[in-house]
Structure 1
């Protein structure tokens, strides 16, 4: 166990890489989720079809397969990605597909009377979405989005297979150097747990802020 504790700088470097992957991947996933989720609520059948193709394709694709595709296969036809870019793209595209369904469902869940009120007030479609529909939908999106971000963080554990020195990669190095299997993986289990709890706390904070913005009374947590 002491050998594992002595190697804590390596674990911290790996944890920082995992946090970076989570942040970058989450930002990409959020952008894609909003774009294709809103596309799923569009009046145009063609726009809805584009959103559906994205969701069905990337939701059904394993993240690891996408990583191998970006990092090992595409360079064969002239498209090269750094390991970090390949990992972020893979994680973002996969989780963004799930997030798009969250966005679509949240927008659809806003009471129809709210939409009718914006029409009566002569709001443009952009004003309707920005000022009335989306703020209420965000309150519904946050809890499932929090779960998806944690899933993305846990999914990043496979990026060591494309040479990224994340937390799992550093743990394997420490295990090979010290022979300590049990305590090495106990250590990274705890670190992953701490990161997940930090992410969950940020989501809860965002939920409370959105509730206050909408004039709702935040539930005690």
Structure 2
């Protein structure tokens, strides 16, 4: 999934401008298994945009630590995290329908009940569906780096987005990011170090070692073999 973010002011003149979403939709072939995952899994796991935030305690049937992941791709990491922590609840946001289908397939195969899925724009989900101070963690793993300098403004991690996330985290809740683009890692660090109300959880004020709770993806392993670095950042909401 690719992501970018601009505050709502970008849509003031709706006759001339279309709101920039937190993603760019890309076509992808849906396999039979992914389609079955969508057909069978979305009635059970799927959520939709609503005018008011749902009560996730009711949605999950319990009160538990809650994590939201933006852009889970094909869903393997989210599936692994949910299976490893059945005492926690997870909300995944992804617009790439083959990935949504793949995740639903995995959830059904492993009979997991602690995941719900929004096949929607992440910014809209945060604004409309997530109550303030309700998340224990928000995960942003390997967002689109928009590596050309002229496209850097499309990156999802911008000051306004950091503030939106902060409002949804509980006090002490953690924003965990990971990227394999050095320049994006530097921008993430710069934005977050300047964002009010956050504390960097790194001992030296920069990046944290690879956290054991973040699964290593095939994509990441391939990058490591090619000599690519990966940078993890964790920031906790202070106030």
Q: Which has the larger radius of gyration?
A: 1
TM-score by length of 2: 0.25
**Higher RCO (CA < 8 A, seq sep 6+):** 1
Higher strand share: 2
Higher helix share: 1
